[in-house]
Structure 1
Amino acid sequence: MGNKATNFNEQIVKLEERGMELDYDKDKIKEFLLDIGYYRLGFYWNPFEIDKDHNFAKGTKFSNAVLLYYLDVDLRNILLKYMNRIEINFRTKVVYYASNTHKNSPTWFIDPKVISSEFINAVENHYNDEFKKNNKVIKLHHQKYINDKFAPAWKTLEFFTFGTILKIYKSLLDSEIKKRIANEYGIINIDKFINLMETIVYIRNTCAHGGVLFDLRLPKGISAIPGITFNNNNRHSLDSSIKVILYILEQISNDRKNEMTEKIKETFDKHSENEVLKNIITNEIGYID
């Protein structure tokens, strides 16, 4: 399309020229383009392109790109719901075990006897004027205790991101606390536990920022998990990432794990009624029923 903005009619002509079958009427296509956007939909018709000029394979339908987009939307909604459960559970355990181990240090997350200097030196990336202003509990704490530079951990960590909580866990100097938390999730090795949690944080951030899921490839391979088989031994796929989420979720609630498993299966089954999407589910996502 070049570097100039284009209107709907120009976009539709371009798709036709590249060989896409426009199997909706033009008003409906314009509706999709205004709702989702030409650029974002491009991520979902990319699998059907056959050359560097972005021409499409014969028989490529506009509807398949739209359906693939909505598969991503369905997966994102499911994954965010259950990863939120994991995030809250993990945050609670970090706060509980560290705070009770260091009862005389309510702000242990900036205590050099408890946390590595690397995190403490960068704490203002997480705890700054904007953080204090945007979180009501923190704001009220500083209004009441004007001499406190930081609010206690049990208040502060409630408003840190999942990724920051994981950084704090990794920065704990006491390996016994880290082991105890990892053991709560059925993992003995701390490094393996960190790998699994980094996987979940990566998927969570991808979902939260509207990233594409169907062709996701993790930057780091997933550690082996007892009793879990990765399809085709692929440790970078979305399907393998989903298995990590289910594994950790099971340690928290078997009911929630079963519930998520069913919702994922229903979503893949529904979208697999379309043969084109079925191939993508199998070959790109890596899901095998």
Structure 2
Amino acid sequence: MMAFNKPAITPEQQLTLLQQRGLSILDRPRALAFLQSVSFFRLTSYMRPFQVNAQHNFIAGTGFRQLAELYDFDRRLRLLVIDAIERAEVAVRGHISNHMGTTYESHWYLDAKHFKNNDQHNRLLDEIRRKQDNELRDYHRECQRIDKLKTDSTRKAKLKQKRQQESYARHYALTYSTPQLMPNWAMVEEITLGTLSHLYKNLSKDSDKKAIARGLGLEAPLLESWLHTLTAVRNICAHHSRLWNRELGIKPAVPKSRRVVWPDYLRNGNGNLHTRAAVILPILQHFMIYCAPHASWKQRLAELFNEFPNTPLARMGLPNDWQQDPFWQII
């Protein structure tokens, strides 16, 4: 352990430092504007593949434009990924709600028999209860502000009614006394993706998990694993973190059955590819085929890669000819 002694330096000094390390900067004003919008620290993770030693010297011929383009590619890749995750997430919520609600009634999730782990079940109930309590608290605060307005009582009543309808969690708590918590179809929309992933994993009956997965063209172990993976990837994208050459801390399951179409370069390739973007993209494409086949996601993904032909694919786990794999030819 040692004391930290690195000084803060200005964007102009940062550019000079990069030049001293061998980075070519042809348009200094433009590079400076980029650093003022994207911090030096954020950009460092995109520099590392182009640096050769502990002194952070750059490979000869590396230019600032390469770094900026790589950053822009990654930013736009995250936008595409988060778009697909949103569609997949909404679809999974719907399939869980539709199957479990019609099979076991509106408040099935209140009964512990539907879950394997009681502690996880209690955490689910606590999350929903907390959501309703927070909405009630906010509603009462808003009503207090409305009461202070200089307007007539009829207008105040209308404003309070409008505030009540702004959230179903709020509406349910103000309207119904039993059951205490909201119905299944509202519950699955209120919980986070992480909680949704745990809910699915914790379902007690394999037959329910299989029925839900089947509606998404998957086997239950795959859906369970992929939900866990998408939760991690969503967090990366939501925090604007690097995705391009990210190595996931988890390894999603891959299809063992030929019933689930999968890229040949992943079936036959190095297992290390299963922790990089190489595995994220086909997972999302599978969901898009079942959830949003007319969204042109695959086409937009190909257009992005074609627009940035110099993106180092190997660090994503992708072979140069990945787009020609039969998996990506499926309409």
Fold match (TM-score > 0.5): yes
1:53 positional shift: 2.0
1:212 positional shift: 0.8
User: 2:47–2:67: 8 Å Cα contact kept in structure 1?
Assistant: yes
Q: Deviations over 1:133-187 (max 9, x none)?
A: 3882212221223665422221122122222111111111122111101111222
Task: Say which of 223, 230, 236 aligns to 2:253.
Answer: 223
User: 2:95–2:212: 8 Å Cα contact kept in structure 1?
Assistant: yes
Q: Secondary structure at the match of 2:114?
A: coil
1:67 positional shift: 0.4
User: 2:246–2:277: 8 Å Cα contact kept in structure 1?
Assistant: yes
Task: Say which of 187, 192, 195 aligns to 2:218.
Answer: 187
User: 1:268–1:281: 8 Å Cα contact kept in structure 2?
Assistant: no
Q: Deviations over 1:163-219 (max 9, x none)?
A: 21111111111221111011112223x223312332233222221221211112233
| Identical positions, percent | 21
Q: Which residues of structure 1 form unaligned runs of 5+? A: none
* 2:304 aligned partner: 267
Task: Say which of 154, 164, 176 aligns to 2:195.
Answer: 164
One-letter code of the match for 2:18? L
Q: Which has the larger radius of gyration?
A: 2
1:124 positional shift: 6.2
CA distance in 2, matches of 1:218, 1:45: 19
Q: CA RMSD in A?
A: 2.3
User: 1:19–1:57: 8 Å Cα contact kept in structure 2?
Assistant: yes
1:212 aligns with 2:215: no
CA distance in 1, matches of 2:306, 2:169: 45
Question: Which TM-score applies when normalising by structure 2?
Answer: 0.76
One-letter code of the match for 2:32? K
1:94 positional shift: 0.5
1:109 aligns with 2:115: no
CA distance in 1, matches of 2:317, 2:126: 35
* 1:242 aligned partner: 281
CA distance in 2, matches of 1:210, 1:174: 37
Task: Say which of 284, 287, 290 aligns to 1:251.
Answer: 290
User: 1:44–1:69: 8 Å Cα contact kept in structure 2?
Assistant: yes
Question: Which TM-score applies when normalising by structure 1?
Answer: 0.86
Q: Deviations over 1:1-36 (max 9, x none)?
A: 9543221122122212211111222x3222211211
Q: Deviations over 1:244-289 (max 9, x none)?
A: 1112222334434xx22211111111100x4xx2xx1244341533
Q: 1:240 to 1:62 in 2, by over 3 A?
A: same
CA distance in 2, matches of 1:239, 1:72: 14
User: 2:131–2:169: 8 Å Cα contact kept in structure 1?
Assistant: no
One-letter code of the match for 2:225? N
1:151 aligns with 2:188: no
One-letter code of the match for 1:267? L
Q: Secondary structure at the match of 2:313?
A: helix
CA distance in 2, matches of 1:264, 1:253: 14
CA distance in 2, matches of 1:110, 1:37: 47
Q: 1:2 to 1:247 in 2, by over 3 A?
A: farther
Q: Secondary structure at the match of 1:5?
A: coil
Aligned length: 278
* 1:18 aligned partner: 21
Which range moved further: 53-62 or 143-152?
A: 143-152
